[in-house]
Structure 1
Amino acid sequence: MSSYVKRVGDLTEPVELSASQIAEKMTSTVDTGFDPVTKPAHYAGHTGIECKQAMESMLGTDEYVSYMQGCAFKYLWRWKSKNGIEDLKKAHECIENMLEALEGGAS
C-alpha cells in the first residue's frame, strides 16, 4: 500500500459504525467548523471523510492536482460575475489543496 493512501486514510478496511456513532459524526461534521470556502457542510461525508480526501484517494495525487487546477481556474474565471471575493477565496483554497497534495500533507 502506498504512503499516499496512508496519508489520506486507509479506505481498504472499512470501519463498522453504529447508527448512533454515524449520527454523532454527521452532526459534528456538519455543525462544527462550517466554512463556505474551506469546509462547506455539503462536502462532509457521514463518516467524517471530506470529499476532497476521498477524491484524492480515488484519483491519485496527479489527477487530483489536475482537478484542483481546473477548479481554481473556474473560480478565477467567474469571480467578477458570480460570487466575487468568495470565489477568489475558493480559488485560493484549490491552490492550497494542490500544494498540500504535492507536498504530502506537509502544508
Structure 2
Amino acid sequence: MTNPKRPSHYESKIDPLTYMKANMSQANYEGFLIGNVIKYVTRYPKKNGLEDLKKARDYLDKAIDLYEEGHIHASSVAKAFGVPVKLLEDKS
C-alpha cells in the first residue's frame, strides 16, 4: 500500500528533504519550507482542498521542528517575508 504522504513516484534512495536540509543554507531551507506552507494554503480552495492543507501542515511542522531545534530565528523569518523586525520585539 502506498503511503498517502509519500506516493510511490517520490520513492528514491535519497530523501529530497533530508538532502536539502543537509546541503542548503539554513535560511534557504527555511525559506523552502515556509514558501511551501504559503503555496499550499493559498491554493487549497481551488486545487486539492484538504490534501493541500495537510501538505501545508507537514511543511509547517518541519519548520516548527527547525525552530525548536534553534535553527530558525524569528528575525530571519521576518526579514525573509519583509516583516519589520520591530513588530517581533517584546513589548513588555
Q: Structure 1 segments of 4 or more deviating over 4 A? A: none
| Aligned-pair identity (%) | 30
| Counterpart code for 1:81 | K
Matched, 1:35 2:28: no
Residue equivalent to 2:42 = 77
Residue equivalent to 1:88 = 53
- Aligned-residue Cα RMSD (Å) equals 1.8
Residue equivalent to 1:64 = 29
TM-score with structure 1 setting the length? 0.55
Kindly provide the CA deviation profile for residues 28-69 of structure 1, in whole angstroms up to 9, marking residues without a partner as x. Answer: xxx6xx4333x34333322xx421110111113221111111
1:61 and 1:101 in contact (8 A); partners too: no
Quickly say closer, same or farther: Cα 1:100–1:43, change in 2 above 3 A.
farther
Please give the alpha-carbon distance, in whole angstroms, between the structure 1 residues aligned to 2:60 and 2:42: 14
Q: Structure 2: which 5+ runs fail to align?
A: 70-92
Count residues in correspondence: 69
